[in-house]
Structure 1
Amino acid sequence: MAWPSVIINIKNMMKGPIAGVEYHFLFVGYGTVSGAERELTVVDASTDLKEALSSAGDSLLTTVMAAQLNGGSEWTAGVMVLDQADDWKDAVRKANETASFEAFVLDFPAADKTLLEDAIAMRTELKNALGRETFAVCCLPEIDNTDATNGETWEAWLAKSVAIVDGVASQYITVVPSVHADGSTLGKYCGRLANQVDASIADSPARIKTGSVVGSTDFLTDKDGKALALSVLKTLESNRISCPMWYPDYDGQYWTTGRTLDVEGGDFQDIRHIRVAMKAARKVRIRAIARIADRTFNSTPQSEAQAKLFMTQDLREMALTGNPGEIYPPEDDDIQIKWVNSTEVEIYMAVQPYECPVKITVAIYISQGDKA
């Protein structure tokens, strides 16, 4: 006979929220630093950047200030200021020892595809070593317009810019040209991507309702003083480069879609698609870890049904985030469980973003019928 007693256990069902890193970017650039240490500085919308980043060079300070200005009231970021002799990859690794970021931003132009490929490799290293889902943001060199004799025309600069990204393939990197006169193009783009007040990760930077870019909208000119034309920006965009742009007879300056360097035909040529997929991956990874060696997750129909409900709870939350949600609500067929053997299971999950028009055609016709 059992001794009369009451035993109470408190169970953790892992149904709580998982903290996200969305909108939180790491900026890496050069400045004047002393000593051996390169420390991570965390800033937000209220930070006096000139004071907090007093060691940053003009380029990095301009980029972070433009990101802050365009990022909205909830903007946050991490910043690593380096010496020119430092390896930026070490800075990214160091920052990731104490924080997580949705993206890392390199505030120095890619003279050739080497920097882009190194950024992709760095992203892969973070994924393999830490399970971090992140993407890279890089920029291209400015046009050389300092010398009317030896400088560049827009045509020459365009050919050089397109050649840098040619042949590079990854959905985890997005590249912008440096075309604003004040050097703020990279920061404006990052701020637009990180503005969680006016948009979501499921929104394109091309979204007009987000508003015009904030800050100076003056563009560079070429060696002959020729203004930047929309035709140049259109050519950049067709070559997978994300560009600022404007609409004739419509005030303000806006953006094209957030192009990535995904291959032709890839599912993630638009930055909003890979951001949604990475957010889902970050959430589901935590859920999956919680079920390691848990025998309640087994191959019985009842257990698999419970596992599907558990694994999709964050997708259902994403479907309710914003109006409309970041993704369509998951359906029963959007998650499949496959048992490889008695100790290994594979889970397949479908995430469906909402359609988003970036080209609208309107047909106008004359109605000649009699009106009642």
Structure 2
Amino acid sequence: MALGKVAVNNLNQAQGSTPEIERKALFIGEGATNTGQLISLNSQSDIDTLLGEDSSEIRDNVLAAQLNGGQNWQAWAAPQTNGYDWTEVVDSAMATVSPEIIALCTPATTSAELTAMYTKAESLRTSLARRVIVLTATPGIDADSQTWSDYEAAQAAITNGVAAYRVGVVPQLHRNNLGVLAGRLCRHEVSIADSPMRVATGPLIGLGDIPVDSAGTELKGATLETLDAARLSVPQTYPDYPGTYWGDCNLLDIPGGDYQVIEHLRVVDKAARAVRLLAIAKIANRSLNSTPASINANKTDLMRPLREMSYSTVFTGQHFPGEIKPPTDDSITIVWASHSAVEIYIKVQPFNSPKAITANIILDVSGS
């Protein structure tokens, strides 16, 4: 004989939300106030109090980021004294915060520095599963000694031959370009799938004075095109259209690579962060097995981050697309490599976005 027993267990199905890493930046650079500290910032922070009233690398760029970051902007700043090692600052900060973007305000001047940034970003991905994008400043023009031709050649030499798809380079043409771009990338009313080129986001705010070269010539669109072709990220204007806007945020991917612009990498990184957490919860869980029923059920479960990223809205007849296209049955494939090892293949498909628009107009005189 036996006695009756009832047990009720709470089963965790990993169906909750995950922390948002996206749209958060860590600024590192020289400053004179709160050096050696990691400072939390938002759209209400008093930058003059926290980073000093006097101009400095980090203060000027963080202020520009706050101005361009819109409502709910959030970031961290790590002011440093001269001669600091930015990799040590990153390691220290990573013990407390997890940013999507690391903005290095001290200008890089060599290709080797860019390669080191990529190495560090990959190290964070492989050791801590932290997917970061490094945006670094490069010097602005020396108006006392450089012509625009000299400057173009010097900047192109920095990025020449570098393969580093997690690194973007921003010349400090107006002395705070890095902060302007970082703020624009962190706006909450704009999708991470949107390019900073998006004109509907509005004009740039707080960009510094128009630079001139040693001959007193102002910065022209031709120079911006040359810098963009060298894979640097620069602002731009449109004739007879008020305001200054941005071009692509170029990454140092190889020719033909998938991640030559930042919006492609951002959506893949977001999906990867969410899928990784779901995959951890499935370790040694026999509900994921090689049977057709299990594979179909787990494909549906692993597809959840893609479905959430694809949600779109229609308002007053206008369609606001999600970050990616809705996933389909072939968006996820699960393959068993052995009885205890499974491989998952996931497809993330972005929407098309027009960056070159040609309008052709004809004259119709058929009714004359």
Q: TM-score, normalised by structure 2?
A: 0.95
Alignment partner of 1:370 is 2:361: no
Contact 1:56 1:81 in 2 (8 A): no
Give ranges in structure 1 of 5+ residues lacking alignment. none
- The structure-2 alpha-carbon separation of the partners of 1:179 and 1:117, relative to structure 1 and needing over 3 Å to count, comes to same
Q: In 2, Cα distance between the equivalents of 1:254 and 1:111?
A: 25
Offset of residue 86 of structure 1: 2.1
- Paired residues for 1:120-139 under 5 Å: 120-139=118-137
Matching residue within 168, 179, 185 for 1:174: 168
Contact 2:332 2:347 in 1 (8 A): yes
Alignment partner of 1:236 is 2:227: yes
Q: In 1, Cα distance between the equivalents of 2:176 and 2:225?
A: 20
Deviation by residue 1:310-360 (Cα, 9 ceiling, x = unmatched): 111011000016620000011010111111111111100000000000000
Offset of residue 218 of structure 1: 2.8
Aligned to 1:69: 67
Aligned to 1:320: 311
Contact 1:31 1:56 in 2 (8 A): no
User: RMSD over aligned Cα, in angstroms?
Assistant: 1.6
Aligned to 2:22: 22
Alignment partner of 1:13 is 2:10: no
- The structure-2 alpha-carbon separation of the partners of 1:174 and 1:355, relative to structure 1 and needing over 3 Å to count, comes to same
Contact 1:127 1:133 in 2 (8 A): yes
Aligned to 2:238: 247
Matching residue within 265, 286, 291 for 1:300: 291
Percent of matched pairs sharing the same residue? 38
Aligned to 2:317: none
Matched residue pairs, number?
A: 362
- Partner secondary structure for residue 348 of structure 1: strand
Q: In 2, Cα distance between the equivalents of 1:253 and 1:292?
A: 50
Aligned to 1:89: 87
Deviation by residue 1:26-62 (Cα, 9 ceiling, x = unmatched): 000112378xx93311100000011122399612100
Aligned to 1:41: 39
Offset of residue 106 of structure 1: 0.4
Aligned to 2:340: 343
Deviation by residue 1:205-262 (Cα, 9 ceiling, x = unmatched): 0001000001145321001110111000011111211110000110000011111111
Q: In 2, Cα distance between the equivalents of 1:321 and 1:71?
A: 23
Question: Which amino acid is 1:338 matched to?
Answer: V
Deviation by residue 1:93-152 (Cα, 9 ceiling, x = unmatched): 110011101010100111111221111111011111101011100121111113xxxx00
Question: Which amino acid is 2:132 matched to?
Answer: T
Alignment partner of 1:184 is 2:156: no
Offset of residue 179 of structure 1: 0.9
Question: Which amino acid is 2:281 matched to?
Answer: A
Q: Post-superposition, which runs of at least 4 consecutive aligned residues in structure 1 deviate over 3 A?
A: 54-57
Q: TM-score, normalised by structure 1?
A: 0.94
- Partner secondary structure for residue 306 of structure 1: helix
- Partner secondary structure for residue 12 of structure 1: coil
Q: In 1, Cα distance between the equivalents of 2:311 and 2:9?
A: 33
Deviation by residue 1:147-195 (Cα, 9 ceiling, x = unmatched): xxxx000000001101100111122111111111xx1111101111111
Give ranges in structure 2 of 5+ residues lacking alignment. 314-319
